């Protein structure tokens, strides 16, 4: 199968051939050579900073966590006896809020 070329095809081919010839005559600057850095020192510094940051966060978090657990809490319980129309309260010192009841617990109780 033969392809027929028209005058327009030869003009386009000549145009790109002249562009290619001009491109070959141009001076192309060389890429600058990058200095080789010591990556071992860089990684040591970065990992040391990351380890220091993690250790600091762990110590701060651990210290705050202990303060909360060691503190005793005084809890006031208010009881209301609806049958005898009396109210009384109890005071207890606890290290955690194990027996907490919401303020609206009385709405769930049947009388």
Distance separating alpha carbons of residues 102 and 108, to the nearest angstrom? 11
In this prediction, residue 96 has a pLDDT band, given cuts at 50, 70 and 90, of: low
Residue 30 sits at φ, ψ, to 5 deg, of -80, 150
Which one is predicted more confidently, 72 or 67?
72
Q: Please tell me the pTM assigned to this model.
A: 0.29
- 89 contacts 79 by C-beta, under 8 angstroms: yes
Distance separating alpha carbons of residues 48 and 11, to the nearest angstrom? 66
Mean pLDDT, residues 99-106:
76
Mean pLDDT, residues 8-12:
84
Distance separating alpha carbons of residues 77 and 98, to the nearest angstrom? 13
pLDDT in tens, 44-70: 999 999 999 999 888 887 655 555 544
pLDDT in tens, 12-44: 888 999 999 999 898 888 888 887 778 888 899
Q: Please choose, from the candidates 64, 93, 65, 66, the residue with its C-alpha nearest in 3D space to the C-alpha of residue 77.
A: 93
């Amino acid at each position: 199968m033969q392809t027929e070329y028209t005058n327009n095809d030869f003009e386009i081919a000549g145009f790109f051939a002249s562009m290619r010839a001009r491109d070959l005559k141009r001076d192309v600057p060389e890429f600058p050579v990058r200095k080789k850095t010591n990556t071992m020192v860089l990684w040591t510094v970065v990992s040391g900073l990351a380890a220091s940051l993690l250790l600091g966060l762990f110590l701060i978090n651990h210290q705050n966590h202990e303060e909360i657990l060691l503190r005793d809490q005084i809890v006031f319980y208010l009881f209301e006896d609806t049958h005898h129309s009396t109210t009384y309260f109890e005071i207890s010192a606890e290290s955690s809020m194990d027996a907490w009841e919401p303020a609206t617990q009385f709405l769930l109780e049947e009388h």
